[in-house]
């Protein structure tokens, strides 16, 4: 019998990015990055860095703190993305 072991390593930065996307997909847009940091229990610096990465990747809009339309529509889609549930469980 052959077993497969999968190890997933995350960093604090990746965890911050995942938690921001998860928060924005489940809640209304926060008033500020500082408010988002308080809501997540993270430092303002880590939230600012994560937001910069997410904006550069086209995941967040340039104006405000909200998911880009093509990302925001995923939870409304009837298409099942099994990897979304796995990513949220690991976060």
Tens of pLDDT, residues 40-91: 999 999 999 999 999 999 999 998 898 888 887 766 666 666 666 655 555 5
Which has the closest alpha carbon to 49: 88, 19, 17?
A: 17
67 phi and psi angles, rounded to 5 deg = -70, 145
Helix residue ranges, H only, 1-91? 12-26, 33-40, 44-56, 69-72, 82-90
Q: What is the mean pLDDT of residues 23-30?
A: 86
pLDDT value for 76: 66
Quick one: average pLDDT of 14-25? 88
pLDDT at 87: 56
pTM: 0.69
Q: Which residues contact 40 (CB under 8 A, 6 or more apart)?
A: 16, 19, 20, 23, 47
3-state secondary structure of 60: strand
The pLDDT of residue 13: 87
Average confidence (pLDDT) over 26-49:
91
Q: Are 64 and 29 in contact (CB under 8 A)?
A: yes
């Amino acid at each position: 019998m052959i077993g497969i072991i999968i190890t997933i390593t995350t960093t604090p930065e990746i965890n911050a990015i995942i938690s921001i996307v998860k928060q924005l997909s489940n809640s209304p847009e926060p008033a500020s990055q500082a408010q988002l940091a308080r809501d997540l229990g993270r430092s303002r610096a880590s939230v600012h860095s994560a937001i910069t990465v997410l904006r550069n990747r086209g995941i967040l809009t340039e104006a405000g703190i909200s998911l880009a339309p093509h990302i925001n529509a995923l939870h409304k889609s009837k298409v099942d993305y099994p990897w979304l549930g796995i990513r949220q469980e690991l976060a």
